[in-house]
Amino acid sequence: MKLAEDGQRVLVRIEVGEKLPDALVELAKVRGWGSASILGLGAVKGVTLAYYDLPNRKYVNHPVDGIVELVSLVGNLAIFNGAPIWHLHCSVADEHGSLKGGHLVTLEVAVTVECWIHPGDQPVTRRYDEAAGLNLLDL
């Protein structure tokens, strides 16, 4: 992973073989970030996306085969149980331009992932929400 600082933002290039969200969690730990937002793109493989099935209160995983374009990576960072956790969504496109998207479970960088991260000034935490069955931002 390579970094370049630009005022309040950090430009990040994630290298071949690194996995998300793991590499981003480690970066947040090293930097001491308690909140942030992210925007990114690139080329990836080994993608698993998920859809949250609210009536059954569980994520349903959807693997994506092959090397695909990371058309969009968006999300936020907060603290849950004392540790940083990224909530990431992404869209990926295959060689025909067909898109798939959802909650990012995991991916591996195939060529690069380039993203801007905007660390927040104050930590944000997550708290379990009974109605959603999820750990939502505690605002």
All structural domains of the chain, each given as residue ranges with its CATH number in brackets, are 2-137 (3.30.1330.80)
Q: Which two tokens stand for residue 99?
A: 């898109």
- Which pLDDT score, from 0 to 100, does residue 128 have? 96
User: What pLDDT, on the 0 to 100 scale, is given for residue 33?
Assistant: 97
* pLDDT of res. 72: 98
Confidence of residue 11 (pLDDT cuts 50, 70, 90): very high
Q: Report d(CA 68, CA 97) in Å as an integer.
A: 9
Instruction: Give the start-end residues of each E strand in the chain.
Output: 2-6, 9-14, 19-20, 36-53, 58-64, 68-80, 83-93, 99-119, 126-129, 134-137
Question: How confident is the prediction for the chain on average, in pLDDT?
Answer: 97
Entry pTM: 0.94
Half-sphere exposure of 7 (CA within 13 A, CB side): 1
pLDDT at 7 over 90: no
* pLDDT higher than 90, residue 118: yes
Percentage, residues of the chain above pLDDT 90: 98
Read off the pLDDT of each residue in 110-138 and give the average, rounded to a whole number: 96
Spell out the residues 6+ positions from residue 34 whose beta carbon is closer than 8 angstroms to its own: 77, 78, 79, 84, 120, 122, 123, 124
Return the pLDDT at 44: 98
* Residue 33, CA atoms < 13 Å, CB-side half-sphere: 24
Mean pLDDT to the nearest integer, 38-56: 97
* Count of Cβ atoms closer than 10 Å to residue 81 Cβ: 8
Average pLDDT on 45-72 reads 97
